[in-house]
Amino acid sequence: MRKQIAAANWKMNLTASQAETLATALATGVTHLQAGQQVILGVPFPYLILVQNKIAGNQNLFLSAQNCADKLNGAYTGETSVEMLQSISIPFVIIGHSERREYYHETHSQLATKVDLALAHNIQPIFCCGEPLHIRETNTQNEFVEKQLKESLFHLSNAQMKNFIIAYEPIWAIGTGKTASSGQAQEMHAHIRQVLASQYGIETADTVSILYGGSVKAANASEIFSKPDVDGGLVGGASLVASEFISIIESLKPGA
């Protein structure tokens, strides 16, 4: 069964008290999911344990870190390792978000290492891919995203790829108010699944949840999520408002 996922990315937002308020609202507001649905909260590092305590007992909510180091431990001031995340029972980590690629120049090779470290420590990566505007304008987005997938993921085994999570985020639609049409989202998601199928087979490709990210809101979530290859969303700004994010969660399809 392919999970349908609403994943929040809080990015570098909220004070501790605001994070506590939001987590409490979600813990009390997300009380029932349909079969095969899942909610993941991508929380800033300082608030992971705080939010973990607030959502304890709610079996619908899971925590994710927003990044991890490409080293296991050592003299890397300011970094956070998968070993640290595992030690506080964090089950997910976002890897390769476009902001990490753009602002911190993370390479395909570094991201492959991060994926390996996460999996070795029983942490599920949420692997991000997506094209900038100039690539979309030259209609080479399929090749661009395919390269991202091949160079960071295609060393994985079939078993490792089963039930993987990929988030497609057209960079030109992140935080801009622009959104890929539901048709554009479906087109790229179907392409990603085809690329996975060419390497791992259709059976494995059909287990991979592919999320859409890029100005997802309560107003457009149902239309985007209705597409057959769109398995939910990675939500930025709208996830910072409990009522908005709960509405997005309610737009998920049942698990496929």
pLDDT per residue as tens digits for the range 116-142: 999 999 999 999 999 998 999 899 999
How many other β-carbons are positioned within 10 Å of the β-carbon of residue 195?
A: 18
Judged against a pLDDT cut of 70, whether residue 256 lies above it is answered with: no
Decide: pTM greater than 0.95: yes
Mean pLDDT lowest among 99-103, 169-173, 178-182: 178-182
pLDDT (average), residues 192-217: 97
Q: Which residues are paired to 8 by β-bridges? A: 41, 235
pLDDT at residue 128, as a whole number: 98
Whole-angstrom Cα distance, residue 153 to residue 172? Answer: 23
Query: Which residues are tagged catalytic?
Result: 97, 169
pLDDT of residue 151: 98
**Of the candidates 20, 82, 89, 87, which has an alpha carbon nearest to the alpha carbon of residue 55?**
20
Fold of 4-249: TIM Barrel (3.20.20)
Mean pLDDT of 143-155: 98
Mean pLDDT of 100-118: 97
Residues 151 and 108 sit within 8 Å (Cβ to Cβ): yes
- Give residue-wise pLDDT tens across range 17-69: 999 999 999 999 999 899 999 999 999 999 999 999 999 999 999 999 999 99
Q: Share the mean pLDDT of the chain.
A: 96
Best CA proximity match to 80, nearest among 56, 124, 48: 48
Q: What are phi and psi of 232, to 5 degrees?
A: 115, -160
At 82 the three-state DSSP class reads helix
Domain parsing of the chain, residue ranges: 4-249
Query: What confidence category does residue 224 fall into, taking pLDDT thresholds of 50, 70 and 90?
Result: very high
- pLDDT, position 111: 98
